[in-house]
Amino acid sequence: MLEAKKVSKSEIQAWRKQIENGDLSDVGEVYQQLAKRGYHYAKWAYGVASADTITGNGALEFMQAVAKEHHHILTDDETNKIRCAG
């Protein structure tokens, strides 16, 4: 397994700012950048943020099912906040 490339503090700060000031597509872009550097979990996180992969949609459906079991229906706004939080 290849070692992930190091990320600088300034890069992390810039990505955090991008996420805070952007939307879900910005979250996806950050995960893609991390994945390109060898942080493989970011590929899974990208699927949740983008909701366009089988695993990402599976995770979102599981989250909705667990919330429903606890008698809570997640609104789209709540779901999107969770998707942005990573």
| pTM of this structure | 0.79
> What's the distance, Cα to Cα, between the start and end of the chain in Å?
24
**Residue 7, pLDDT above cutoff 90:** yes
60 close to 79: Cβ distance less than 8 angstroms: yes
For 14-64, write each residue's pLDDT tens digit. 999 999 888 889 999 999 999 999 999 999 999 999 998 999 999 999 999
pLDDT at 85: 78
Q: What number of other Cβ atoms are within 10 A of residue 74's Cβ?
A: 16
77 close to 18: Cβ distance less than 8 angstroms: no
pLDDT at 3: 87
pLDDT at 17: 94
CA–CA distance, 26 with 62 (Å, rounded to integer): 24
Residue boundaries of the structural domains of the chain: 53-86
Q: What does the block give as tokens for 1?
A: 């397994």
**Residue 1, pLDDT above cutoff 60:** no
